[in-house]
Amino acid sequence: MIFQPDRYLLKKQIAELSNFIKGRVLDIGSGPNDGRYRNLFSASDYVTLDINPDYIPDIVGSAEKIPEQDNSFDGVVCFQVLDDLKNPAKAVKEIYRVLKPGGYGLISVPQSNELHDEPHDYWRFTKYGISILLSEAGLEVVKILPRGGFLTLKSQMTIRYFIDLLNLYRKKILGRLLGTIFLIYGRTTIWLDAMDKSKANHKHTLGWLVLFHKI
């Protein structure tokens, strides 16, 4: 796996807030490998949902029309999915519907990203935009975390550019060689951003992780 600051920081943030997600949990847009972040949660029942049957999720279905009953999950997680949906507001309303009162959820969204999953790549979100989507659906924002600052954003875009330009996921030897450089570069920019408390730096981020609550 080639180091990417976005993925590294997202996993770290999810782990930081994972204790809120308990009981019967729905992972919306889980992707392959039985849910990418499943091992971070102490769920009694972890249910995966994805529209792609090749990923072999527990439920094959759309985030915009979840085939589950109202108030059926104690927790909901949805990572890097809303930007690939034609109607993200509809998906957030579905999250509200299936989440039990008192339940918590985690959503991550990009603010800056390369085009991906084309042609199904539609949206980018500020913290204000994702907060409005959640509040209009009836969900309360508890905490919202940015993923990196200006330098981290630059390193992620640079690393991603060379991954795509040189097709590094297919060129294993070259990928391993450059991967060491990317690791040092990315971790250095993460550290430098953590030191930079300026307002200018806070205007730039890769995206957001939001902890929300259904009252």
Chain centroid to CA 141? 16
Instruction: Measure the CA–CA gap between 85 and 92, rounded to whole angstroms.
Output: 11
Chain centroid to CA 54? 21
Give the angle subtended at the CA of 128 by the CAs of 127 and 129, to the nearest 5°: 95
Instruction: Measure the CA–CA gap between 132 and 81, rounded to whole angstroms.
Output: 17
Residue type, 185: Y
Instruction: Measure the CA–CA gap between 151 and 14, rounded to whole angstroms.
Output: 21
Predicted local distance difference test score (pLDDT) of residue 32: 87
Instruction: Measure the CA–CA gap between 92 and 70, rounded to whole angstroms.
Output: 14
Q: How is residue 54 annotated by DSSP?
A: G
CA distances from 127 to 10, 109, 112, 197 (A): 15, 9, 12, 18
Predicted local distance difference test score (pLDDT) of residue 26: 98
For 7-22, write each residue's pLDDT tens digit: 999 999 999 999 999 9
Which runs of consecutive H residues, i.e. helices, occur in the chain? 5-17, 88-98, 127-136, 150-166, 172-195, 199-202
* pLDDT over threshold 80, residue 151: yes
Query: Helix (H) and strand (E) counts for the chain?
Result: 6, 7
DSSP, collapsed to helix, strand or coil, labels residue 146 as strand
For the chain, the straight-line distance linking the first and the last C-alpha, in angstroms and rounded, comes to 39
Give the angle subtended at the CA of 204 by the CAs of 76 and 145, to the nearest 5°: 30
Predicted local distance difference test score (pLDDT) of residue 54: 95
Predicted local distance difference test score (pLDDT) of residue 104: 98
Instruction: Measure the CA–CA gap between 28 and 191, rounded to whole angstroms.
Output: 31
* pLDDT over threshold 80, residue 35: no
Q: Whole-structure pTM over 0.85, yes or no?
A: yes
Predicted local distance difference test score (pLDDT) of residue 13: 98
Residue 1 pLDDT level (bands cut at 50, 70, 90)? confident
For 65-122, write each residue's pLDDT tens digit: 999 999 999 999 999 999 999 999 999 999 999 999 999 999 999 999 999 999 999 9
Q: What is the mean pLDDT of residues 132-161?
A: 98
Q: Are 63 and 78 in contact (CB under 8 A)?
A: yes
* pLDDT over threshold 90, residue 2: yes
